Structure formats: structure tokens, C-alpha cells
Structure 1
Amino acid sequence: MSQPSSRPHLTPQFCFNQTALRDFLRISRGTIDDSITQNLNALLTPAQQGFDPSSTSTRQLSSPDHGRSIPPQQCQEFKERVLFPSWSVRSDVLDYCAGVATSPDPDDPDSVIRQIEDSKARERVVDERLDPYSGRYFPTEARTESLAMLMRQERAVEKIIRNRTWSLLGERCGMNNESSEAAFDRWRATQKR
């Protein structure tokens, strides 16, 4: 069985290092959600029914394991030990970094440069008749704004990935129509006790 994602050391520097943040999310999603079919197939006991020699006499176009139901106990164990803990770690990272993105950033190395650029733009005399493009000014984005945009994008990606994973889990495990959010929230509530 796969292992849940390990929790990174959460600091503002981790969040502002967008490469490290994206790599963590990509690797966590890749090991659990993107390979959900392989993870679910690993729950099936191989050769449970024994070898049937007649199975080699005809060509089978579909995998015999495809669509095969997984015992409910194994599905539940997978959700509680691997899937939900990984989702929890990613949710904690996204929540923490979203908080960092909405907090003031006194350590922003580019804030002085932005202030200088803003004051130069205010002092500039623009005659748009001579140069219609001279009035354009594109201020550089603060790193908190960039992080906030990244968090919105990553939350949208996370929602899509969770829905796909939950759909495949529902097909293979024969689960009820409970949403992924409701099941995850219920699991998190049991973990906080």
C-alpha cells in the first residue's frame, strides 16, 4: 500500500519558494491521486481465484481486474490510512500558504524597488499625443499577490483531482453517493478528537 504524503516544514519561505511548493503538491498528487488506479489495483489480492488455463486460449481485450470490486474493508483502510492523510497534508499546506498570502509581508525584498518605481511613475510627465504608449505603467506584483494567485490555481486543481479520485474510488469500491468533501470533513472531525 502507498504511503501518505509527509508534512513539509511550513514557513513563509516555503510558501514564497513557489518551485518547492509546486514540487511538493505535484509529488503528493502524483504518488496518491494520479496513480489511483494502480493504488486500487494493489489492494486486490492476486490470483485470488487461482489460475484458469482456459484464460490463455482466447484473447481478452479488457483486463480481468478492471472493474473488479475491491472489498469494502480494504477500501476503507486505504481511505483512512493513505488517501485522507495525504489530502489533509495538502489542505494544511494550501491553508497555511493562503494565510501567508493574505498577511502583510515586511520581509519582501522587492518592496523598496516597487515604491521607487511607483514614485517615478507618479512624477513622470506624459504627453500621449507625442507617444500614446508613454502613459503605460505596469507595476510589479508583490510576492504575496503572486502567492495568492498561485493558491487560487492550486485549490482549483486540488478540487478537480479530488473529484476524479473520488469518482474512481466510487467505481471500484462501490461507495455511496457521499461527496469527497463531506467524507473528508467527516474523517478530519474524527482525527481531531
Structure 2
Amino acid sequence: MSRATSTATPGLSPQFCFNERLLRDFLRLSRSTIDDSINQNLNALFTPAREGFDPSSTSVRQTDSSQGSTIDSTACQGFKDNVLFPSWQTRSDVLNYCAAVATSPDPEDPDLILRQTESAKDRERVVDERLDPYSARFFPREARTESLANLVRNQRNVEDIIRARTWGLVTERCSDSLTSWEEALNSWRERKQR
């Protein structure tokens, strides 16, 4: 089992978070390396030849796909502890950091003066809705912190969905207990801190 390259936390800085394309690419690459290819990762843990080849196994057609596909519990635990949970933790760290950046004041916002100017012009505008009912429409520019907050919120929702799907496959193939992925991740965090 190889350690995933996406578990390395990128250099976290506000510039990293505000570069939404770079943030999305990091999350997408990390997810594709571990979660999107979870079946392949789990199949790599399965060692059907550990008992040796049984010639009688070819005389009967195997129709039960789940028969014999349970992965060794030590291999499963190693995969979860060394690959899956660190990847999830890294993505959580990045999203938490970027959420903190999104809620902090942004003195370097390049559009701040432009938004203030637009807001001042909007306050001075006289609108006669009888002549043009759509003239009252004004769509202020969104601050980059607001845009980042929306991106982080959406990516957290995506994480929840992907982790639930991944955890479902892991518990099915590893014959794990029926704990949720949140409980399993928190348990791993506690073991790691000791």
C-alpha cells in the first residue's frame, strides 16, 4: 500500500485560499487519489492468494460476489490509519483554515475601493420605478471573503457526501463496526494525539 501524495498539507496562506481555482484543484486531486478510487485502493489490500491456490475453486462457478472479498482487518486498519484518515484530516485542516480566512477582515481586498464606489453611487441614484421598474436592481459585487466562505461551505457539503460514500464502502469491505465516519475519524484523531 502506497502512501498517497495528496496527504501533504499545502502551504497554507490567505493567497492559497483566495485562489479558488488552486483550492478547488487541491481538494479535487486529494479526493480523486483516495475517495474516488476507493474500490481500487481496497482491492489492492485484498490478498486472495494468502491461503494458496485451491484447484477445486475453479470447478464451481462463484456467483456470490461478497464471498471471500473481506479484507484482512490489519490491512484495513493500516489503510484507514495511514492513508484515508490523514487525507481526510488534511482536507479538513485546509477547509478550516480557509474558513478562518473567510471570516477575518481582508485589508488587501483588491475590489474594496471599487465596491465602496459602487455602493456610494447606488445610494445617490434616484430611481423612478414608474419609468423603469428594473432600474432599482443593483447587484453589489461580492467581497472575496464572501465568495471564499461560499466555496468553503459548498466544499464541506461535498466532503460530507464523499466521506459517507467512501466510509460505506470501507465498512462493507472491511467488515467494520457500524460507527459513522465522523466517529471513526474522531477516534483516529484521539489515538494520534496520545
Give SS of 2:50's match. coil
Match of 2:106, as an amino acid?
D
Alpha-carbon distance in 1 for matches of 2:53, 2:89: 40
**5+ unaligned residues in a row in structure 1: which ranges?**
none
Deviation at 1:191, TM superposition (A): 1.8
Comparing 172-181 and 54-63, the one that deviates more = 54-63
Alpha-carbon distance in 1 for matches of 2:155, 2:63: 37
Q: Which residue of 2 aligns with 1:6?
A: 8
Alpha-carbon distance in 2 for matches of 1:103, 1:36: 36
Give SS of 2:45's match. coil
State TM-score, norm by structure 1.
0.91
Deviations 1:91-113 (A, max 9, x none): 10010000001111000000000
Alpha-carbon distance in 2 for matches of 1:9, 1:124: 45
Q: Which residue of 1 aligns with 2:24?
A: 22
User: Are 1:2 and 1:39, in contact at CA under 8 Å, matched by a contact in 2?
Assistant: no
Deviation at 1:67, TM superposition (A): 6.5
Alpha-carbon distance in 2 for matches of 1:108, 1:87: 30
Query: How much is the aligned-residue C-alpha RMSD, in angstroms?
Result: 2.0
Deviation at 1:6, TM superposition (A): 1.2
Deviation at 1:118, TM superposition (A): 0.4
* More helix by percentage: 2
Q: Which residue of 2 aligns with 1:70?
A: 71
Deviations 1:1-30 (A, max 9, x none): 242321100000000000000000001011
Q: Which residue of 2 aligns with 1:179?
A: 180
Deviations 1:155-185 (A, max 9, x none): 0000111111111011011111111101111
- Residue number among 24, 32, 35 corresponding to 1:33 in the alignment: 35
Alpha-carbon distance in 2 for matches of 1:58, 1:66: 13
Alpha-carbon distance in 1 for matches of 2:165, 2:52: 32
Give SS of 2:121's match. helix
**Identity score, percent:** 64
Q: Which residue of 1 aligns with 2:96?
A: 95
State TM-score, norm by structure 2.
0.91
Q: 1:150 to 1:162 in 2, by over 3 A?
A: same
Match of 2:121, as an amino acid?
K
Q: Which residue of 1 aligns with 2:157?
A: 156
Q: 1:104 to 1:160 in 2, by over 3 A?
A: same
**5+ unaligned residues in a row in structure 2: which ranges?**
none
Query: Within 5 A, what are the aligned runs for 1:114-193?
Result: 114-193=115-194
Q: Which residue of 1 aligns with 2:47?
A: 45
User: Are 1:14 and 1:20, in contact at CA under 8 Å, matched by a contact in 2?
Assistant: yes
The answer to whether structure 1 residue 85 and structure 2 residue 92 are counterparts is: no
Match of 2:3, as an amino acid?
Q
Q: How many residues align?
A: 192
